[in-house]
């Protein structure tokens, strides 16, 4: 799809804004999903004249990670272009990765020891503060900087998240990073021991295992962040940039490193945001509105509260976004899309495979006169169920940026 679209793109002065409410899709609790339970007069008003549907991030039945889901939203095949979480998180923190660097995403966790065996009690260490994260990272960095000639650097992220960069002497290939995640994905289980899929990645796994042992010995006395879970072992790939693919000058408005990272990987300008609130992000959007053709605006807390199982708080974030939506529309947006990267139902406390609500608004929409923006209205509207990789071509078409195909 992207190859065809790239040949048809033409420039004009239209403005496209893609608002991604992370984990937007939900499941009914007491008869309503989070989106259906939220009071959203602005979304409902816009949706009455918009095109609605649902999108599938990867394939039906496949639960996507955030990186894969965002690649799909941006029109890149997430299966053909599989990218590790570590690279995205590292780029989002402003870390330069060279050909000898491997990045790994980390979560601080709370474990209880049964003898010498750690058992995960909280996979996110109670979402410790970013300041606490920095303190713990400082402890580890002071005690551990090299393993078997491989340099180790730790970088704090937001809350419980961090990045480890392993700097090898030779250049790396993707096969060197084929190491399993150590996160068991559930409380009450022991962390998974790192293992590689081949000879070269097994060497990486052995280094990762020693890294975990030595680092966790340093922080064993911490009240919350007394263990680390590693995931997304990865090296930096080569992809066509967003501008090469779509002739769009794109700006990313996101507070969290992973989402800034995927944007940076695709060549978007990552804009400075003064805080992590929706209001902070909209102020950044407004300040930069004249400088870009395309904006990606990311809202994180819908996903965080979904993973926490906090239905009411997720509803609250949706309502906050809706209350601020007129500020976005007042900028003179030509094409507005509101969706999620994936579903994160509070009822499941996790990402899920359920199709994601999607709204596209422009002067070229047919409009279905639906009652509001929700999973149920999207399931019966004009777009139907599409693949997430089809969203970018639709946005370009609504913006008048695609020429006719064929004679």
* Residue 369, token pair as written in the block: 């006169």
Contact 54, 378 (CB under 8 A): yes
DSSP string, 109-178: EEEEEETTEEEEEETTTTT--HHHHHHHHHHHHHH--EETTEEEEEEE-STTEEEEEEE-SS---GGGG-
Q: Can you give the residue ranges of every domain in the chain? A: 2-83+239-398, 95-234
Contact 288, 270 (CB under 8 A): no
* Alpha-carbon distances of 36 from 54, 188, 376, 379, 404, rounded to whole Å: 15, 33, 8, 13, 38
> pTM to 2 decimals?
0.79
Of the candidates 402, 371, 362, the residue with the CA atom closest to the CA atom of residue 17: 362
| The predicted structure's pLDDT at residue 96 | 86
φ and ψ at residue 170, rounded to 5 degrees:
-80, 165
Determine the Cα–Cα distance for residues 266 and 282; give it in Å rounded to an integer: 22
| The predicted structure's pLDDT at residue 238 | 81
Q: pLDDT, tens digit, for every residue of 284-327?
A: 999 999 999 999 999 999 999 999 999 999 999 999 999 999 99
In three-state secondary structure terms, 269 is strand
Q: pLDDT, tens digit, for every residue of 335-365?
A: 999 999 999 999 999 999 999 999 999 999 9
Determine the Cα–Cα distance for residues 360 and 51; give it in Å rounded to an integer: 5
The arithmetic mean of pLDDT across residues 99-120, rounded, is: 94
pLDDT exceeds cutoff 80 at 369: no
| The predicted structure's pLDDT at residue 63 | 97
Q: Look at 32-36, 198-202, 354-358, 383-387 and tell me which has the smallest mean pLDDT.
A: 198-202
* Residue written as token pair 């890294």: 211
To the nearest 10°, the Cα dihedral for 97, 101, 106, 112?
A: -160
- Give residues with Cβ within 8 angstroms of 52, minimum separation 6: 357, 358, 359, 360, 368, 370, 373, 377, 378, 381, 382, 383
CB atoms closer than 10 angstroms to residue 167:
16
The arithmetic mean of pLDDT across residues 58-72, rounded, is: 94
Q: If one looks up domain 2-83+239-398 in CATH, what number appears? A: 3.40.720.10
Q: pLDDT, tens digit, for every residue of 149-158?
A: 999 999 999 8
Contact 344, 351 (CB under 8 A): yes
Dihedral angle sign, alpha carbons of residues 321, 322, 327, 333: positive
Dihedral angle sign, alpha carbons of residues 44, 46, 50, 51: negative
Rounded to an integer, what is the distance from CA 383 to the centroid of its chain? 24
| The predicted structure's pLDDT at residue 84 | 81
Of the candidates 351, 347, 355, the residue with the CA atom closest to the CA atom of residue 312: 347
């Amino acid at each position: 799809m992207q190859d065809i679209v790239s040949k048809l793109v033409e420039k004009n002065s239209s403005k496209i804004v893609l608002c991604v409410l992370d984990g937007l899709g939900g499941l009914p609790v007491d008869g309503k999903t989070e989106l259906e339970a939220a009071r959203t007069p602005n979304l409902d008003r816009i949706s009455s004249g918009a095109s609605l549907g649902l999108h599938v991030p990867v394939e039906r039945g496949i639960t996507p990670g955030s990186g894969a889901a965002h690649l799909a939203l941006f029109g890149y095949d997430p299966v053909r272009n599989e990218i590790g979480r570590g690279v995205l998180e590292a780029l989002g923190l402003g870390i330069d990765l060279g050909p000898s660097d491997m990045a790994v995403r980390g979560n601080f966790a709370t474990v209880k020891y049964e003898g010498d065996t750690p058992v995960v009690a909280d996979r996110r260490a109670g979402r410790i503060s970013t300041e606490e994260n920095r303190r713990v990272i400082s402890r580890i960095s002071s005690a551990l900087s090299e393993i078997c000639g491989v340099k180790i650097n730790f970088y704090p992220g937001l809350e419980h998240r961090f990045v480890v960069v392993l700097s090898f002497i030779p250049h790396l290939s993707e096969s060197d990073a084929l190491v399993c995640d150590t996160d068991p994905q559930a409380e009450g289980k022991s962390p998974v021991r790192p293992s590689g899929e081949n000879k070269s990645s097994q060497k990486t796994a052995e280094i990762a295992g020693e890294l975990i042992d030595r680092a966790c010995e340093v922080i064993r006395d911490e009240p919350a962040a007394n263990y680390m879970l590693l995931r997304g072992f990865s090296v930096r790939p080569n992809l066509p940039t967003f501008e090469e693919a779509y002739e769009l000058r794109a700006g990313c408005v996101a507070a969290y490193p992973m989402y800034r990272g995927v944007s940076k990987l695709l060549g978007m300008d990552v804009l400075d945001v003064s805080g992590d609130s929706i209001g902070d992000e909209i102020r950044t959007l407004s300040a930069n509105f004249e400088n870009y053709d395309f904006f990606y605006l990311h809202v994180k807390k819908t996903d965080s509260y979904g993973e926490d199982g906090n239905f009411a708080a997720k509803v609250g974030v949706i309502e906050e976004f809706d209350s601020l939506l007129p500020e976005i529309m007042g900028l003179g947006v030509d094409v507005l899309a509101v969706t999620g990267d994936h579903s994160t139902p509070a009822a499941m406390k996790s990402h899920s495979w359920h199709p994601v609500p999607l709204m596209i608004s422009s002067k070229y929409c047919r409009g279905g006169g639906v009652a509001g923006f929700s999973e149920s209205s999207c399931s019966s509207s004009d777009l139907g169920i599409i693949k997430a990789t089809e969203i970018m071509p639709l946005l370009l078409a609504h913006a008048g940026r695609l020429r006719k195909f064929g004679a």
